[in-house]
Amino acid sequence: MATRPDQKDAVTPGPIVSIPRTADGPAAKHAPDAAPVAPAPRPGEPSKDTMLACRYELKYRIGEAKARALAAYVREYLPQDRYAQLRPDGQYPITSLYLDSNQLTLCRETLEKKKNRFKLRVRGYSDNPETPVFFEIKRRINNVIIKSRARAMHEHVPVVLAGRELPPVKFKTDVKALRQFQFYARLLNVRPMVLVRYMREAYEGQGDNRVRVTFDRQLCYCVTTEPRVRLGGPGWYPVPVDFVILEIKFTSRFPAWLSKMVQAFSLNWTAMSKYASCVRQSVMSGFGAPQVCEVPQILYV
């Protein structure tokens, strides 16, 4: 197989330094060993298009009642992010077009829990053609999440995915990140695989150790081969889960109040990939993936 993008010939994701773990009680059991060095961005923030986000990311599966109680606890420490503040119910939609090879290489590596892996996706927050989309590379290097992304518009999705240059635009974007996205896409010969959509309730703090807590609900997917990001339209199917996906993201240390929250609510960390969950559901339901891919046996387990 061709050399993978996470090997030495790829563009390096930036420095990572080691720091001691926090001694804030249960956080010592939850905090990874390496520390990221750049703050995490807010989705869709124009001034943060040219960025490389490094962070820890912890996920939990919780019931709805616990999610409400946790949200009330979090609100004592973090405000809603600016997008949640604009919605009456405090939730906003996110949709991502995931790319993968016909062998579902990236999905399989997630399910096999490879320590160094990545995903390629195009993320959007609205079907309005005047709103931006973001080409994202989300890497996991051991326990650290490193995300780079480049801003574009809906009309540019087929252009970029075809490997062509972005036409002249009036906004700033990270051209280097966009070209690296295209390099990875060519290397693995990826194509549009599935759209993943959910509703997000999000809280975010500021400062050097930016903390972000999100609650994701109504996970659903749409098998597609179209180079298009959309929230609406036909072909959507729910992923039958009876839990809310809680994610805690932070850039340097696990705060004491989060440590107390984990202990008080008896939270147990778990792996949870929305993309892999949607692909697996598609395979098990026969809605498209088996007909167009070489389906790894692990998806049937």
Pairing of strands 244-250, 237-238: unpaired
Q: How far is CA 29 from the centre of its chain?
A: 23
Q: What is the pLDDT of residues 45-63, one digit of tens each?
A: 333 433 336 888 999 999 9
Give the residue among 158, 221, 182, 198 at the shortest CA–CA distance from 43: 198
In-domain check, residue 23: no
- The pLDDT of residue 292: 55
In-domain check, residue 25: no
Q: What is the pLDDT of residues 202-250, one digit of tens each?
A: 999 987 778 999 999 999 999 999 999 999 999 999 999 999 999 999 9
CATH number (domain holding residue 110):
3.20.100.30
- pLDDT exceeds cutoff 70 at 112: yes
In-domain check, residue 140: yes
- Total number of domains constituting the chain: 1
- The pLDDT of residue 294: 63
| Cβ atoms within 10 Å of 116's Cβ, excluding its own | 12
In-domain check, residue 101: yes
Rounded distance between C-alpha atoms, residue 100 and residue 112, angstroms: 15
Q: What is the pLDDT of residues 173-205, one digit of tens each?
A: 999 999 999 999 999 999 999 999 999 999 999
In-domain check, residue 172: yes
Mean pLDDT, residues 263-271: 94
Q: What is the pLDDT of residues 16-49, one digit of tens each?
A: 222 223 333 333 233 333 223 233 333 433 334 3
In-domain check, residue 227: yes
Average pLDDT across the chain, whole number: 81
In-domain check, residue 159: yes
Q: Domain containing 250: what range?
A: 48-295
In-domain check, residue 68: yes
